Amino acid sequence: MKFPWGDGEQRKKELSEEISRHLQMAARDREARGESREQAGAAAQRELGNASMIHDVTHDQWAWTWLEDLLQDLRYGARTLLKNPGFTIIAVLTLALGIGANTAIFSLVNGVLLRPLPYAQPDKLVGTTQYYPKGPLVVMRQQSHTMQLVGVSDNKEFNLTGTGDPVRLIGNSVSADFFSMLGAQPGLGRTFHDGEDQPDKDRVVILSRALWQQRFQADPNIVGRWITLEGEDREIVGVMPADFRLPSPKTELWVPLRLDPRDSGNYWGDSYMQLIGRLRPGATLEQARAELKTMRPMVLAAYAWRMPVNSFVNSSVVSLEEAIVGDARGKLLILLGAVSLLLLIACANVANLLLARATTREREIAVRVALGASRWRILRQLITESVLLALLGGALGIGVAVGGLSILKATLPPDTPRLADVALDGHVLAFTALLAILTGVIFGLVPALGASKVDMTTTLKSGGQRSASGGNHRASKLLVVGEVAISMILVIAAGLLVKSLWILSGTSPGFRAERVVTARITPNELFCAVAGRCLAFYDELLNRTRALPGVNNVAAVNGLPLGGGAEIFPGVIEAHPVPDGAKVPMFWEKIVTPDYLRIMNIPLLRGRAFTEADSGADAQAVVIVSKTTAEHFWPGQDAVGEHFRPKWEQQWRTVVGVVGDVREFTITQNSAEWIDGVIYAPYGPHAIRGSGADAPPAEMTLVMEMAGDQAQIAGELKNTVASLNHDVPVSQISPLKSWVGEAMAEPRSTSALFAVFAALALSLGAVGIYGVISYSVAQRTREIGIRMALGARRQEVLLLVVGQGAKLALAGVAIGIAGGLMLTRLMSKLLFGVQATDPLTYGAVAVLLMLVALAACFLPARRAMRVDPMVALRYE
């Protein structure tokens, strides 16, 4: 078969020949019957009709003409749009906003959720949902037939010394085959060799490209150089390329795990880490899940001590993408949902514009119908026009998306997973194009269906001035109601989030952030391993810092609240013995110097605070507990005087005080779900270490109470630390307030996004109401004129018009409330201190929407009020 448009010209020529032959034969027959040659020719011509028309209609039978029609429709559509620049600009801008916002959010979804991970065969990569120590990793690596498992520690910090100022770097310990499992190639040098995660063979390190460039001036001969990390010498064996960002974009270096079973506390106990892996050929995710379950008893049996029977019981295997993205998925999908509602509003607005215009085009359409255009043909023409409009909007929308995306990337917290992968790529552009076409069909269909139904006779007779387009007007009212309802939902969602944020910022995190400046002091663990060396260092540091100008007081803590870190360990309460095999309660421990509670303004509720004496080596070991912890373990009793000990110790420690709750974990949580209590221990020999180590923690954070709000002590503090030990980095010198602000970044960015959506929705909704009411006023000018001629007062006319708008808005608000009740439940995870059905928010938003709607009605209403009855009646 020949390609349909390939032989089009040939067919056209033959068709002309066929028709002219017909004409000749007819003329010859007439001549044979005795007509003159001229007469016969003319009569045959008359009988045949319009030859070129017949030619065209016949040619149409050969399909593919739809393409010609499409081009024709496009040309016609473009002409129509150019003729109405006002309409076109408003419609295109509205659509550009809607489509642009969707494109921006979709590129986030695409980059974070959809795009495959940039590693070999990414669909085979998996991760465990729970963390495991090194011992279980080694057991499972030996046992698993479905997966090649590797361990990846969370971000850790390393002191780099001996190359300029000491600095704190972020790195991860990984299994030796971490890189080869992923199929990742180094940019320079090599990745780890097998066996380099064994003790004494692990003195190697791989740098990130960024670290190599910033700290080592992109030295091409870096491989083979030795550097000092945490007091240990390591050889640089490779540099990874910039696009390698596992496990986190912050990672600056990788070192091998040290698999040393002799260090059993670390090996089996506190080296919890994420396991990731690659499915072996032929293995499925389900098999891997099942295998993980069957390996659990072997893992527990490998322990030298008895583990709680339900250890690791909730662990499962998921795709690596899911393991990386985690909670971000839900939030992104909610954003996508919200932004698609916004697009619906934009569609409704443009559909309304088209409906209004369809009335003025009735005559044009009636003429086309009269000339023989079928309904389908008209429909197609109108839809082509709206798709053209949407494509223009989409093209402009890409510009909106580029701007929106850069704002988005700046607004979202930098630890949003895979944020660096987000870009406007081919997938996103394809999505935009598809969205634009779909949008064009959606908003074009209703007006086009209405317009193509036009009653030719009445329209043409009435001169097209005023025909009863009641159907159209009903449709546009429905659209406005829908639009208000959707705006209502978006504004409610934004209202709930903003209220959450407001409550959040109003809620005390449990401590005072004003006039406190913090700084991280991070000697090596090795430095502190020598008994007493670290204690003396901090003792002297605190004394010298206290003497610095502007510093009123100073204390040290092992980690700031709001996720700044803590020691986590299993503990036993004397009053609550744990049955063998049951889960031992886990504790979150703040190791503090005596002034910490005072500087942070954490209230002492019962008992006493720590004193210098509590830090003495021969002092009795004491702890302080938080209010919730006291109520949890000693309900209705006084916790002071009760006893507590870490699981591995024999001696009981006495609770000497109860203090107020602090948001230790995140801005919304006092502690994680799996933590049973928060306790404070004095810095010194009695600090409890999660690892069971004897020495107090090396890394401490100074909290300095300042005379003013100034943070300008960075230089002096650094000098002070350097004068004590020039290998100790000082980092993150900043006001405590900005630490609290960072903790709020996530809720703040979400509410900001929703606030923007809501503002857009509200203004689009207002424009929609304004458009419909103005249009209705224009349509009813004559009626209003008659009413006024019959004695209606201006206020009555005003009420009439505003009332009409109010009715629509009220219906929309009612539907919006119902929709909001259904939809906002999905976002309850994003809310804090406010229910998804918060009546106050709903009420306030309803009032706001009604006010906006009334304001939008007011302009057309004033126009209606000024109608001059004489002019209006003479108008026709």
Partner 1 sequence: MKQRYQNRIELLQGTLDLLILQTLRWGAQHGYGIALAIRANSGDILQVDTGSLYPALHRLERQKLIAAEWKVSENNQRVRVYRLSAAGKKKLAAERSRWAQLSQAIAGILGPAGQESQA
The site for partner 1 (CB under 8 A) is made up of 14-15, 17-19, 21-22, 24-26, 28-29, 47-50, 53-54, 56-63, 371-374, 377
Least distance from C-beta 56 to partner 1, angstroms? 5
Task: Between 26 and 441, name the residue whose CB sits nearer to partner 1.
Answer: 26
Task: Between 61 and 221, name the residue whose CB sits nearer to partner 1.
Answer: 61
Least distance from C-beta 394 to partner 1, angstroms? 31
Task: Between 457 and 712, name the residue whose CB sits nearer to partner 1.
Answer: 457
DSSP 560-600: -TTTS--EEEEEEETTBPPPTTSPPPEEEEEEE-TTHHHHT
Round to whole Å and give the CA distance between 759 and 96: 16
Least distance from C-beta 460 to partner 1, angstroms? 16
Task: Between 14 and 243, name the residue whose CB sits nearer to partner 1.
Answer: 14
Task: Between 25 and 871, name the residue whose CB sits nearer to partner 1.
Answer: 25
Round to whole Å and give the CA distance between 400 and 104: 8
Least distance from C-beta 4 to partner 1, angstroms? 10
Round to whole Å and give the CA distance between 209 and 553: 41
The answer to whether residues 267 and 134 touch, using CB atoms and an 8 Å cutoff, is yes
Contacts for 193 with CB less than 8 Å, ≥ 6 apart: 176
Least distance from C-beta 69 to partner 1, angstroms? 10
Round to whole Å and give the CA distance between 598 and 552: 12
Task: Between 374 and 508, name the residue whose CB sits nearer to partner 1.
Answer: 374
Q: What is the dihedral angle through the alpha carbons of 315, 334, 829, 763, rounded to the nearest 10 degrees?
A: 170
The owner of tokens 């302009």 is: 859
Contacts for 103 with CB less than 8 Å, ≥ 6 apart: 397, 398, 400, 401, 404, 424, 428, 431, 432, 435
Reduce the DSSP state of residue 677 to 3 states and report it: strand
The torsion region of residue 832 among left (phi > 0), alpha (psi -120 to 50) and beta comes to: beta
Token reading at 141:
């690596």
Task: Between 12 and 329, name the residue whose CB sits nearer to partner 1.
Answer: 12
Least distance from C-beta 377 to partner 1, angstroms? 7
Task: Between 33 and 306, name the residue whose CB sits nearer to partner 1.
Answer: 33
Q: What is the dihedral angle through the alpha carbons of 853, 858, 860, 866, rounded to the nearest 10 degrees?
A: 160
Sign of the alpha-carbon torsion through 118, 123, 124, 127: positive
Task: Between 50 and 719, name the residue whose CB sits nearer to partner 1.
Answer: 50
Least distance from C-beta 81 to partner 1, angstroms? 23
CA 632 to chain centre: 36
Round to whole Å and give the CA distance between 586 and 633: 12
Contacts for 493 with CB less than 8 Å, ≥ 6 apart: 338, 754, 757, 758, 820, 823, 824, 827
Least distance from C-beta 22 to partner 1, angstroms? 5
Task: Between 13 and 807, name the residue whose CB sits nearer to partner 1.
Answer: 13
- Which long-range CB contacts under 8 A does 836-845 form with residues at least 24 apart? 836/496, 838/496, 838/499, 840/499, 841/492, 841/495, 841/496, 841/499, 842/492, 842/817, 844/495, 845/488, 845/491, 845/492, 845/495
Least distance from C-beta 283 to partner 1, angstroms? 54
Task: Between 114 and 370, name the residue whose CB sits nearer to partner 1.
Answer: 370
Residue 433 CA: distances (Å) to CA of 109, 437, 722: 17, 6, 59
Token reading at 165:
């100022």
Report the interhelical angle of 328-370 vs 375-411 (nearest 10°): 150
Least distance from C-beta 68 to partner 1, angstroms? 11
Across 707-757, where does the E strand assignment appear?
730-735
Task: Between 57 and 526, name the residue whose CB sits nearer to partner 1.
Answer: 57
Task: Between 49 and 579, name the residue whose CB sits nearer to partner 1.
Answer: 49
Reduce the DSSP state of residue 238 to 3 states and report it: strand
State the amino acid at position 711 in one-letter form: A
The owner of tokens 């013995």 is: 577
Least distance from C-beta 116 to partner 1, angstroms? 46
Least distance from C-beta 372 to partner 1, angstroms? 3
Token reading at 236:
């640089």
Task: Between 18 and 612, name the residue whose CB sits nearer to partner 1.
Answer: 18
Task: Between 45 and 553, name the residue whose CB sits nearer to partner 1.
Answer: 45
Q: Which of 228, 225, 255 lies closest to 161, judged by CA?
A: 228
Least distance from C-beta 360 to partner 1, angstroms? 23
Least distance from C-beta 409 to partner 1, angstroms? 53
Task: Between 49 and 224, name the residue whose CB sits nearer to partner 1.
Answer: 49
DSSP character at residue 556: E
Q: Which of 234, 729, 780 lies closest to 473, judged by CA?
A: 780
Least distance from C-beta 790 to partner 1, angstroms? 47
Least distance from C-beta 72 to partner 1, angstroms? 11
Task: Between 240 and 378, name the residue whose CB sits nearer to partner 1.
Answer: 378
Sign of the alpha-carbon torsion through 39, 41, 45, 47: positive
Least distance from C-beta 75 to partner 1, angstroms? 16
Contacts for 822 with CB less than 8 Å, ≥ 6 apart: none
